Copies of this chain bind each other. A is one copy, B any other.
Amino acid sequence: MKKIFIPFFAFFIFTLFLSAQEANKEKYYSFIADSIVKSALTEQNGYRLLGELCKIGPRLSGSANSLKAIDWAKEKMKNLGFDSVWLQPVMVPHWERGNVESAVIISSNKYKKKKLSIASLGGSVGTDLIKGITAEVIEIHSWKELSEKKNEVKDKIVFFNIPFDNSFPTTFPAYGKNVGYRVQGASEAAKHGAKGMILRSISSRNDNVPHVGVMHYTDSIPQIPAIAIGIKDADFLSEALNRELKLKLQLKLSCKTLPDAQSYNVIGELKGTEFPNEVIVIGGHFDSWDKGDGAHDDAAGCIQSLEVLDLFKRLHIKPKRTIRCVFFINEENGSRGGIAYGEYAAASNEKHLTAIESDRGAFTPVGFMVDKDSLSFAKISSWGKILERAGIHWVKQGGSGVDVSYIKNAKCLIGYVPDSQRYFDYHHSANDVFSEINPREFELGSAAMAVLVYLIDREGL
């Protein structure tokens, strides 16, 4: 009896010890999480840096401004005392809007000379600046309708007037439904002889600000100019076309594509004390569209990533693993930064444990999406109660982010998911400025990411 009893008792004590240890660990991690949240929300260092960055202005790939911002970022990382800071050279596409972009009604009984609120789509060709392009407009609501009306399209400007579908409880599905028209609409219209393309802005806000974004031409199909129109003017144009089918528009656009330009990913890291070769990447994209300041998209994600490292420093937490913040260049129109970093990761001897991306705006945290590795997913899910202290409601399996997706050898990829309700009010438009960032929403995002990085650093994946 005694013989059985002793091992059983020892096992019982050992189990108790383990569970007490687990409980202590959870208590300690909760304390760290609370400290991170408090530091982020009360000190708001990231928010101030975001303000500085946005003052530089937009950061379109290849622009002089983007290089200025890259310099700023590198200096900032050095001043914050990161262990290493470097620039990774990347050649990027270089498209410029120029000073001219106009769409004017020139033939109409009622609306003559009415100037519409428009902006060239990124990558669009321009027009002759004296004559422009003059044509009738045909309104189209779907690919199906374009196909049905393909014989009416020739020599016209195709106006894709597809409203933002508000019926989903989050907004990304609505964006997903319409973005194809922005990217492929010009070539699909040009196939049938169209002379230009107008896209109703992909926007959830009822204003007249055009929302831009990248478009692509399909090889062998003529390249026609493509613009976005503010949604109030999209409604106006639709109504005007109902009254006057033969209404003519004149487009003048100075935009053009220049040769690829030299640019850089900005990278800073804190070296791991125990496993320096194991890397946790955290990042956003540093380029932005040239309307607004790209405050939500994606200065916010970059500065949150930088603040993760800074929070470790402010709280004197020495990471066991290497925590690396990457500002990827050129996500908006080429992903060259993401591709270049992915190549570096593939060639490097380091072990990329995970890469976390923040590219959905500076809104209140909601969750994390974990891509691919189900063991990592299970482990991260088990930290739910600690993550909740920084406002995280769920961990789900699903897509992470564009830039980190090129890091093919990472064990898992993670996307930070904030609330999406207001994102497409700002996205790719002049509305996306620093004054539209709420400091608490932004900082709670930094904190949520920092808590996750801390747990991965301590527990591995």
Are the CB atoms of B421 and A169 closer together than 8 Å?
no
Interface residues of A in 376-390 (CB under 8 A from B): 389-390
Residue A198 lies at the interface, judged by CB distance under 8 Å to chain B: no
Interface size on A, residues (CB 8 A): 31
Task: Tell yes or no: A422 within 8 A of B by CB.
Answer: yes
Interface string of A34-49 (1 = CB under 8 A from B): 0001100110100000
A59 to B419, CA, bound (A): 31
Q: Is the CB of A393 within 8 A of B391?
A: no
CB distance from A178 to the nearest CB of B (A): 15
- Are B419 and A440 in contact, CB atoms less than 8 angstroms apart? no
Query: Complex: how many Å from CA A168 to CA B42?
Result: 9
* A166 touches B (CB below 8 Å): yes
CA distance A44 to B204 in the complex (A): 13
Known contacts A41-B166, A41-B167, A167-B38; is-contact A421 B444 (Cβ 8 Å): yes
Tell me the A324-355 residues at the B interface (CB within 8 Å): none
Taken together as a complex, chains A and B put the C-alpha atoms of A119 and B314 apart, in Å, by: 38
Contact residues of A: prevailing secondary structure: loop
Greatest chain B CB density within 10 A among A167, A393, A440 is at A440
Output the least CB separation between A96 and chain B (Å). Answer: 34
Q: Pick the most buried of A42, A169, A425: most chain B CB atoms within 10 A of its CB.
A: A169
Q: Flag whether A405 is at the interface (Cβ < 8 A).
A: no
A84 within 8 A of B: no
Scoring A166, A170, A393 by chain B CB atoms within 10 A of each residue's CB, the highest score goes to A166
Known A-B contacts A364-B364, A394-B393, A419-B419; A167 and B440 likewise in contact (beta carbons under 8 Å): no
B42 touches A166 (CB 8 A): yes
Q: In the bound complex, what is the Cα–Cα distance between A389 and B41 (angstroms)?
A: 30
Complex A-B: 28 CB contacts under 8 Å = A37-B167, A37-B168, A38-B167, A41-B167, A41-B168, A42-B165, A42-B166, A42-B167, A44-B166, A169-B389, A169-B390, A169-B391, A169-B444, A170-B391, A171-B440, A204-B440, A206-B439, A364-B364, A366-B393, A393-B393, A393-B394, A421-B438, A421-B440, A421-B441, A421-B444, A422-B438, A422-B441, A425-B438
A residues with a Cβ closer than 8 A to B are 37-38, 41-42, 44, 165-171, 204, 206, 364, 366, 389-391, 393-394, 419, 421-422, 425, 438-441, 444, 447
